[in-house]
Structure 1
Amino acid sequence: MKLTGFSAAGFRNLEPLEFTPGAALTVICGRNGQGKTNLLEAIWLLTGGKSFRGAKDAELVGRGKEFAVLEGDVDDEERPQHIQLTVGLPGSGRPGRTARVNGVDMGRAGAIAGTFTAVVFEPGHLSLVKGSPSGRRNFLDAALCQLYPGYLGLMRRYLRVVTQKNALLKAWNRTAGAGEMRQIFDEQLLTLGEEIGRRRQEYLTALSGPACRCYEEISGGSEALTLAYRPSTQPGESLAQALERLRAAELRAGCCLAGPHRDDFEVLLNGQPARVFGSQGQQRSVVLSLKLAEAEQARQVTGRHPVMLLDDVLSELDAGRQSYLLTRMEGKQTFVTACESAAFLRTDGIIYTMEAGRLSRA
């Protein structure tokens, strides 16, 4: 899969731009705070996903603008696709993120998941090892949404039921028929939650093979990487059994205490938690391995390698890991941001400069 053309208007600090990416490597250079990450974020939004920086839609629109428009031409080896994504402020004609593909109105941006696939790798992704479980859940869910478009709807239905059940638990003593309503919510949670948990575990199992091989190559075989899914249920316990066991505890807590919204996965090095025992270099190697495995798994499922978006990650890696990453990216379309272009002068990449939101060919 390749992005053959891209334009943006009204997005964050970016001046209106239109450019042709390189078939393989595109480098965006510039000082910090000039808009390099904003450009990668804009490209990422063509996947239909939310900002990888956790930004709200309203924060994506440039100051003084009512909406931003992003457009990309995608070659997926079957037929060219033109994606137009609009981000509107609340109160505008089309608030939020909406999309068109080849001129056809698709409604909400999530509907185009799978049309353009990408894998983003930025320094904040170290949180996949040492951060909270929510970041690891988001990692799995974002990947699954791109590969299986129906997964997004599944997640939305599940989270809606969790929200409704939590509201019921908080207002339990003031709600007539609360027991019957809880039974209905639990039945829905069970059906949706088991499906989400199954898909996550299957994906993590598929991811483990390539991730472990990558880590072995990076580390020279000095440590073994293991990925283990950790459901919120007790060992050997089903979700139905957990919901029954936690009935009283949920009433006291006022929230749902079991289900995929509380699951996690653990990263182990030689059987020990990498979050606790891994060095900074080992944790970076783990994240690099996970991201490369994510790209490989996308290729396995879709038959096309996703576009790689690398946001200032080379500065976070030592020379050996830099070389490994760039070697793995050969022949695959990759966008890289960096403060200096010196490391890329001997490559075949196209180099652009970003300054105060203006993109120009170096």
Structure 2
Amino acid sequence: MRLERLGLSHFRNLGGESEFELPPQGLLAAVAPNAAGKTNFLESIAVLLRGKSFRAPLAACVAWGQPGFMVWGDVTGSETSRVAVRYQADGGKLRIEEEGEVVSLLPFYARYPYVLFVPEDTFLFSRGPAGRRSFLNQMLVAHTSYLAALVQYYRVLRQRNQALKSARSAEAVGVWTELLAEHAAEVWRFRRGAVQFFAGRTEALYQELTGERRELSVRWQPGAQAPEAFTDELDRQFSASVRAGHTLTGPHRDDFIILTDGRPVAAVLSRGQLRGLALALKVLTYQYLVQVCKREPLVLLDDALSELDETRGAALLNHLPAAAQIFLTCTRLPRALARADSVFALDLRRLITVPNRERAAA
């Protein structure tokens, strides 16, 4: 997949309206000072491909004093399509179009995969399991059947939880239990496969990126004691679920962990080491999408080099896929990039505008 052209209208501080062509291959370094809005550029691409931001409500993406924003682009896969996302702050109206027609979200997400690294990914294993489930979901939406199963699982989960409020026996919610188990099995099949993909590759890639030899064990932790007999487990938990007011186990409680020397990595590794581990997982995510899903994702890297020394920064750059279209934000162009032939620089300072409220305060 390639993003050939990107257009912006009143998106955050990236100018009133602008449109520009993008290099079809290689690395585009978007350069701007700290706190100037570098992340906004990557965010606009994510909004184009998902209709939502990875960090804020869409209302926060509207430029100061404007009624809404629009992001559009020419995206090439098997064919080239004009994709557009329009958002009106009044009423929160969102429209996602492909060739002028409103899209069906499940195939749309699968057609336009991307891999995103943001500095907050450093804390992927320092915080709760919800972030790690989200990490898996963002990767696995490239499988249309996975996203369909996940949507149906949560729909049935809400209905079962509602039924638990008045149910007097496990049989009273039996229909919802059976449906929940059916969709859970599909979600687990994909998540287990993704974690197994990481398990066989993370340790070696971490060593290549960081130069540090360390034992790393990636483990899948399903949100049920016996996924293969999930229906029976739900029936046994009926009374406890009624008391709690919700279903106690299932994919909504899934997790995956990484251990080093038998201990969770968050308890052993430094912040810099955790960042290196997160970057390794992002590189592996790209490999999974190409090798398993047979899709070529965009790669979006927000300040990925900022806390890496020159050696580790060069190692990361050497492991970025040569065939991919990569977008990297940075405060200055690193020497390793400045010498490369397939690197293009975009000076974001020519796009960034200062809102009137900030001018007035200056």
The TM-score normalised by the length of structure 2 is 0.87
Check the 8 A contact 1:154/1:196 in 2, yes or no: yes
Deviation at 1:357, TM superposition (A): 5.2
The one-letter code matched in structure 2 to 1:102 is E
Equivalent of residue 164 in structure 1, options 159, 166, 180: 159
Counterpart residue number, 2:137? 141
Select between 120-129 and 237-246 the one with higher mean Cα deviation: 237-246
AA aligned opposite 1:104: E
- Number of the residue aligned with 1:252: 243
Q: In the aligned structure 2, how far is the partner of 1:167 from the partner of 1:236?
A: 23
| 1:202-254 deviation line (CA, Å, top 9, x unaligned) | 12212333433311323446112221110122268732232123222212221
The verdict on how the C-alpha distance between 1:194 and 1:337 changes in structure 2, with shifts beyond 3 A counting, is: same
Q: Secondary structure of 1:315's partner? A: coil
Following the alignment from structure 2 to structure 1, what is the Cα–Cα distance between the partners of residues 300 and 178? 40
Of 311, 318, 340, which aligns to 1:347?
340
Query: In 2, Cα distance between the equivalents of 1:322 and 1:335?
Result: 15
Residue 103 (structure 2) aligns with = 106
Provide the rounded CA distance (Å) in 2 between the counterparts of 1:17 and 1:87. Answer: 17
More displaced, 238-247 or 188-197? 238-247
CA distance in 2, matches of 1:219, 1:35: 29
| 1:30 counterpart residue number | 32
Structure 2 counterpart SS, 1:74: strand
| Cα distance in structure 1, aligned partners of 2:270 and 2:226 | 30
User: Matches of residues 154-303 of structure 1 in structure 2 within 5 Å?
Assistant: 154-169=149-164, 172=165, 175=166, 181-220=172-211, 222-234=213-225, 238-303=229-294
After superposition, the C-alpha distances for 1:71-97 in whole angstroms (9 at most, x for unaligned) are 122233x322222222333526xx23x
2:319 paired with 1:328: yes
How many residues align structurally? 348
Residue 282 of structure 1, CA deviation: 2.4
1-structure distance, mates of 2:89, 2:221: 39
Match for 1:44: what amino acid?
Answer: A
**Structural RMSD (CA):** 2.5
**In structure 1, C-alpha distance between the alignment counterparts of 2:189 and 2:250, rounded to whole Å:** 12
* 4+ residue segments displaced more than 6 Å: none
Q: Are residues 235 and 132 of structure 1, via their aligned partners in 2, closer, same or farther at CA, if it must alter by over 3 Å?
A: same
Residue matched to 2:11: 11
Structure 1 residues 46 and 59, CA gap change in structure 2 (3 angstroms): same
SS at match of 1:83: strand
CA distance in structure 2 between the partners assigned to 1:69 and 1:12 by the alignment? 11
CA distance in 2, matches of 1:318, 1:114: 35
Check 1:236–1:204 CA distance in 2 against 1; reply closer, same or farther (3 A cut). Answer: closer
Is 1:43 the counterpart of 2:45? The answer is yes
Give secondary structure in 1 for the equivalent of 2:220: strand
In structure 1, the gaps of 5 or more residues are: none
Give the TM-score, by structure 1 length. 0.87
Counterpart position of 1:64 = 65
Equivalent-residue separation in structure 2 for 1:342 and 1:88 (angstroms): 39
Decide whether aligned partners of structure 1 residues 159 and 65 sit closer, same or farther in structure 2, where only a CA change above 3 A counts.
farther
**Cα contact 1:47–1:114 (8 A) shared by 2:** no
Using a 3 Å threshold, how does the CA distance of structure 1 residues 157 and 235 change in structure 2: closer, same or farther?
A: closer
Asked if the contact 1:34/1:356 (under 8 Å) is kept, the reply is no
Q: Post-superposition shift, 1:177?
A: 7.0
Contact 1:47–1:115 (Cα < 8 Å) also in 2: no
